[in-house]
Amino acid sequence: MILATGRAHPELAEEVARLLGIEVVPMQNYDFANGETFVRFEQSVRGVDAFVIQAHPNPINHWVMEQLLMVDALKRASAKRITVVAPFFPYARQDKKHKGREPISARLMTDLYHKAGANRLMSVDLHSPQIQGFFEGPVDHLWALPMMADYVAEQYGTDNLTVVSPDSGRVRVADIWADRLTSPLAIIHKRRDPDKPNQVQVHELVGKVAGRDCLLVDDMIDTGGTILSAARALKENGAKSVLVAATHAVFSDPAVERLSSDAFDEVIVTDTLPIPEEKRFEQLTVLSIAPLIAKAIYAVFDDDSVNSLFPGHA
């Protein structure tokens, strides 16, 4: 087994390697003056089971290209099997055509990985599970939910907890959280105010939240607009506290400003993406995704079941 990493989030790869008891394979990775990327493995990779881990923060296209070049280099150097590890899968939100003349970007990404030489994909909390069907090979879809739910239960208990979907599109995810925590479910529904067309969205809340610890759940936080609106609606309806749990901390501006407001008591994320110091704030808790990825990599290497890591979701 070898573990290779791009430059987007080397700290995550180093932690995964430590948990696996191996070293990250030595490489040269750098950019030419015109922006083109160069990669080279500094040891033989013939016949290895290679895992290529790369985070995909901004600038996402740069890091995608670096990972594709690493996969291509491994294929041309006769690696036995190549697994792409993309904890935050690039372009996952464009998984279908919403209107005519649009690309299906997530499908293009899986095609690029396959063409570059990847035999297998591994990712955490795909925005749309159907992406698993885009790739011509096995896809290991890892869940951060058990780890994050255990943290919430340990810190807050479940007796006074309500799981909240921030909009109607995330009800399925929130329902799974509610089952895991044996907690009631509430849903925030956004609609236009008929008296103020094209101006104001009114939040209709389905479920009891007054006096309760409310846990908003989502797969990612980008600019934080939806989550902030949902948190304010919960506080206005008497929530005792508002927590957020989201796997991927994209944190595009002005997310940090929004999330550090008094609408939130705690924001819980994982480190599938690097979170620099300037994007950290008082209410932020970052859980390490490395143990989950390390277990999944070892299961694949050992020809064991990855689904066995997620009882109830096999």
Half-sphere exposure of 307 (CA within 13 A, CB side): 5
CA 175 – CA 181 distance, rounded (Å): 10
Strands in 120-124's sheet, in edge-to-edge order, are 2-5, 49-53, 81-85, 120-124, 139-142
Task: Show the tokens assigned to 190.
Answer: 């956004």
Residues 152 and 262 in one domain: yes
For the record, the structure tokens of 131 come out as 């992406």
pLDDT at 314: 42
Does residue 279 carry a catalytic annotation? no
pLDDT by 10s per residue, the chain, length 314: 999 999 999 999 999 999 999 999 999 999 999 999 999 999 999 999 999 999 999 999 999 999 999 999 999 999 999 999 999 999 999 999 989 999 999 999 999 999 999 999 999 999 999 999 999 999 999 999 999 999 999 999 999 999 999 988 889 999 999 999 999 999 998 765 556 554 446 568 999 999 999 999 999 999 999 999 999 999 999 999 999 999 999 999 999 999 999 999 999 999 999 999 999 999 999 999 999 999 999 999 999 989 888 765 54
Is residue 169 in some structural domain?
A: yes
End-to-end CA distance of the chain: 25
Same domain, 97 and 212: no
Q: What is the dihedral of CA 234, 239, 243, 248, to 10 degrees?
A: -20
pLDDT at 191: 65
Pairwise CA distance, residues 166 & 180, whole Å: 18
Beta bridge partner(s), residue 208: none
Taking the C-alpha atoms of residue 215 and residue 267, their distance in angstroms, rounded to an integer, is: 10
Residue 314 belongs to some domain of the structure: no
We report the CATH number of the domain holding residue 248 as 3.40.50.2020
Pair (131, 191) in one structural domain = no
Tokens representing residue 303 in the block: 């020809």
pLDDT at 109: 98
* Structural domain contains residue 130: yes
In a domain, 184, yes or no: yes
Among the listed residues 190, 196, 235, 295, the single catalytic one is: 190
Q: What span, in angstroms and rounded, lies between the C-alpha atoms of 126 and 129?
A: 6
Q: d(Cα 173, Cα 34) in Å, to the nearest integer?
A: 43
Predicted confidence (pLDDT) per residue in 29-66, tens digit: 999 999 999 999 999 999 999 999 999 999 999 999 99
Go through the chain and tell me how many residues it has: 314
Question: CB 103: neighbour CB atoms within 10 A?
Answer: 10
Q: How many CA atoms lie within 13 A of 201 on its CB side?
A: 13
Residues 189 and 231 in one domain: yes
The predicted-structure confidence for 257-291, as pLDDT tens digits, reads as follows 999 999 999 999 999 999 999 999 999 999 999 99
Whether residue 239 lies inside any domain: the answer is yes
Q: pLDDT (tens digit, 9 = 90+) per residue, 116-125?
A: 999 999 999 9
What confidence score (pLDDT) does residue 311 get? 64
Number of domains in the chain: 2
| Residues 103 and 161 occupy one common structural domain | no
Examine the domain organization and report whether 157 and 271 are in the same domain. yes
Taking the C-alpha atoms of residue 110 and residue 279, their distance in angstroms, rounded to an integer, is 30
Q: Are residues 195 and 239 in the same domain?
A: yes
Parallel, antiparallel or unpaired: strands 213-221 and 241-249: parallel
Are residues 182 and 204 in contact, defined by beta-carbon separation less than 8 angstroms? no
Query: Could you tell me if residue 10 is inside a domain?
Result: yes
Asked if 181 and 265 sit in the same domain, the reply is: yes
Based on the fold, state whether residues 180 and 95 are members of the same structural domain.
no
Same-domain check for residues 205 and 90 = no
Structural domain includes residue 44? yes
Q: Please give the model's pTM, rounded to 2 decimal places.
A: 0.94
Residue 313's pLDDT is 53
User: In this structure, are 119 and 186 located in the same domain?
Assistant: no
Are 10 and 113 found together in one domain? yes
Domain that holds residue 65: 2-143+291-309
Residue at 183 is within a domain? yes
- What is the pLDDT, as a whole number, of residue 192? 56
Contact 262, 234 (CB under 8 A): no
